[in-house]
Structures are given as structure tokens and as C-alpha cells.
Amino acid sequence: MHDSNWPRLAIDIGGTFTDTVLVDANGRIAATTKTPTTLENPTLGALAGAEIVLAAAGIEWAHVSGFIHGTTLATNALIERRGAVVATVTTEGFRDILEIAYERRYSQYDINLVKPDLIVPRARAFTIGGRMNAAGAALDPLDESAIPGLIDEIRASGADAVAVCLLHAYANPSHELRLRDVLSAALPDLVISLSHEVSPEAREFDRLSTTIANAYIQPQMARYLADFQARFATSGLTCPILMMTAGGGMTTVETAARLPIRLVESGPAGGAILAARLAAETGDRMY
């Protein structure tokens, strides 16, 4: 266990700079630094910043009792389109959820409208038989006989990750869980995102889009977080690392590696929390 009176460390990795802050047991800032973000491996810049503030405050790694990490890497991977090759698996008859979307045109009178390229083209959109209703009751069982063919299609597509979004899985995820088990057994290197875990909400387009985004950045973020955690542990850190989320809370590295979509836009969320804290301390009103 860690003494709650020991100092805490916070590191935020941006696209240009990495900011590091060490606070003492009383919550006062003990040391800060700004180091260039090392784009080839952002962990290296974060480690450099941590070593600078610990040395400035005369603190040993083992005495750090808390560590919060924020990063724009998940956001940047989406914006810069540097994610994995993703396939989708939806309920039979719902192959075109992504292309149909809301059936609305964002430029209603443009007859030459060209939509942005999709992360998952139709060629990598697959389906499986079986259906749940909105109450979570199985109307049709999962089509187990079609699974070997589905596995062959995913393998042939060259996908690194798959987003599984079956109808009403938020009400009953059993079909998604079964599909995950058989896909994992047949394709052990495939990264699998399930919609009922990523976004357990009604409305198929929203849930599928979020699950695709999660699958798109998951391999990259999982590798990054594993390396980040391992390098800091090797340096002597013994406390858990908590990740800043877009909801303004924190989560474990393990959860963040599985659901990295929760890290997207976590930076602005952290800024809003800081602004609220400063306003409360200074007595300023927030509008």
C-alpha cells in the first residue's frame, strides 16, 4: 500500500509538448516541467519529464503514491487516420448501417455531394444471422453454421481489428460474447471490440460508429499503454497508473487499453475540471 501523504505525479502528453507536475502531500505544486513530446515513442518524453520533477523535489520513484496520465494520442490517431484495418460484423440485413447513417445529407442541396471516406468500407462489412429484440429476447439464435465462413472472410480481408455490433446487444450481449469467443479462438491476433461494452446504448448507427472508432485505435493504444506501464515500472514506479477519461473521471490502464475510445477528448475534459476548480478557489462565477 502507498501512504496517502506521499507525493503524486501527473503527466499529460500533447502533440508538441509533454507537461509534468508533481504535487506534495499537502496538494501544493512541488515541481513542474515541460518537455518535447517524443513522437517516435511518447513514453520517452514522459519519462524524461518525470525524472526531472522527481530530481528537483528530491523524491524517489517508490514514494510516488498516485499517478494520473492524460494523453491526446487516442484523439490524434483518429484525426490523423493512423489506426488499424477494421472489419465490422453486424446482424444479417444490417450490413449498410454505416453508409446509411441517419439518411440525412449534411449539405442538402449539393447534388455532387461526396461523403468522407469511411474507416470501414463495405468490402470489410460482414454479417451474421441471429437476432435479439429490444427487450433482449432472442428472436433467432446465432447462426453458428455461418461462423466458419465469417472467419474466412475476416481473415481474407486483412483486418487487424473487428467491431462487432449486433442488433440490441445492449439489452442482451450473449450473441456478441459467443461471437467473440469463437473469433478469438480462430483468430488469436485479432483485436475485438464489442458494442455492448464500448457503447451500451440504443440506436445502431451511433453504437456501431463508436465501436468502430474503438477498434480503430485499440491496437495502437494497447501497445502504447503496455509499453508506458512497463517502462515506468522498470524505473521504479510502484503505484497504479490512472488514465484521464473524456467523462472527466479516471480509469485503469487495463480498461483504457480495452476501451481507448474513452480517452478521446479527455484533454478538454481535464481542462474543464481545472477551470471549475480554479473558479471555486478564487470565488469566480462560471458562465
Stated pTM of the model = 0.90
Question: How many beta carbons lie within 10 A of that of residue 282, not counting itself?
Answer: 7
Res 2 pLDDT > 60: no
Tell me the per-residue pLDDT of 181-200, one tens digit each, with 9 for 90 and over: 999 999 999 999 999 999 99
Q: Boundaries of CATH 3.30.420.40 in the chain?
A: 8-77+222-282
* Residues 6+ positions from 262 with CB-CB distance below 8 Å: 245, 246, 247, 251, 255, 256
Rounded to the nearest angstrom, the gap between the alpha carbon of residue 7 and the centroid of all alpha carbons in its chain is: 28
Q: Which CATH class is domain 8-77+222-282?
A: alpha beta
Paired with 9 in beta bridges are 22, 67
Tell me the per-residue pLDDT of 73-120, one tens digit each, with 9 for 90 and over: 999 999 999 999 999 999 999 999 998 888 666 677 887 877 778 899
pLDDT of residue 218: 97
Task: Give mean pLDDT, residues 128-149.
Answer: 97
pLDDT of residue 91: 97
pLDDT of residue 105: 63
Say if CB 137 and CB 172 are below 8 A apart: yes
